[in-house]
Amino acid sequence: MAKPDKIALITGAGRGLGRAIALRLASEGVAIVANYLTSQADAESLVAEISAKGGRAIAVKGNVRSFADVKAMVKAGSDAFGPISILINNAGWMVPKAFEDNDEEYWDRVLDTKIRASLYTVSSVLPQMKKLGWGKIINITGDSGRVGLARAVVHTGAQGALQSMTKSWAREFAEHGIRVNAVSPGPIASDQQAEFAQIAPDLASTDLWGPLGVGKPEDIAAAVAFFVREEGDHITGQILSVNGGRAYPS
C-alpha cells in the first residue's frame, strides 16, 4: 500500500525548536501545519520562508491547553492539505521556580501545556492516522525528565510522564501502522535558555553540558526528521537523547 502524503502538525512552531523542526521537515517535502499561540508574526514569517522555498505551510493559531482549539487546528490542517499523518508535540512551558514558590496555577500551566495538550493532540489526530493505516508521532520531551532539575520539579515530572506515555502509545498504536517516538534534548542554545540563565544562573552551568557542549535547534530537527523518514519506519517506543554525550546515572 502506498504511503499517504506527509502532512505534519507541529505545536509551538513559531520559534525555537518548533521552527527548526518545521523548516527541516518542509525541506524534505512535508506539508507543515504550524501551530502558534502568541507569536503570529513569527508563524507568518515561517510560512513565508517555507513557501519561498517551494514548500507548503499554513499557520494556525490555537491554545494547546484547549481541546476545542486543538480539534480546530487539526481540522484546519486537514482541510488545507489532507489528513494529518505526522504529529510533533513540541509545545511546552516552564519558568524556573523553587518548589516552595509553586502554586496551583503554575502547576496547571506546566502540566496542561505538556501532558494534557499531548492527550488532546494525539486524540485528535488518531482517527485520521488509523484511517490512513500509517502515522508518525514524535514527542519532544527533555533529558531533565530522566535526571531531574532543580527549580523545575513539575516540568521534569511532565517530561518523564510524556516519555512513559510515548512507550505506551507505541505499543497500543502499532497495529494501526502508527509509530510513536520521542526526541529528548539536552541543553540547547535558545532565547529561552538565555532567559533561564538570568533567572537561575546554575541552569546555564557547564556541569549540565555533555562533552560536545550545547546543541542547536537544528540538531533536534535532524533527529525528528530521521524518525519521520522511511529509515525510521521500524522504530517505535524509543526515547532518543540528543544531548552532546551527557552521561546519566544508572
Beta-bridge partners for 60: 35
* Average pLDDT value over all residues in the chain: 91
* Among the listed residues 250, 239, 242, the one whose alpha carbon sits nearest the alpha carbon of residue 210: 242
Where in the chain are the domains? 7-242
| Residue 192 pLDDT > 70 | no
Which residue is listed with cell 535526571?
147
Alpha helices per DSSP H over the chain: 16-27, 40-52, 67-81, 104-111, 117-132, 144-147, 153-173, 191-199, 217-228
Q: What is the pTM (predicted TM-score) of this model?
A: 0.93
7-242: CATH architecture: 3-Layer(aba) Sandwich (3.40)
| Residue 182 pLDDT > 50 | yes
Q: Which pLDDT tens digit goes with each residue over 201-244? A: 665 555 566 788 888 999 999 999 999 999 999 999 999 999 88
Beta-bridge partners for 89: 139
- 250 pLDDT tier (thresholds 50, 70, 90): very low
Share of the chain above pLDDT 90, in %: 76
CA distance 119 to 89: 10
Q: Which pLDDT tens digit goes with each residue over 63-115? A: 999 999 999 999 999 999 999 999 999 999 888 899 999 999 999 999 999 99
- 31 pLDDT tier (thresholds 50, 70, 90): very high
CA distance 81 to 93: 29
Rg of the chain over Cα atoms, rounded to whole angstroms, equals 17
CB 25, CB 228: distance < 8 Å: yes
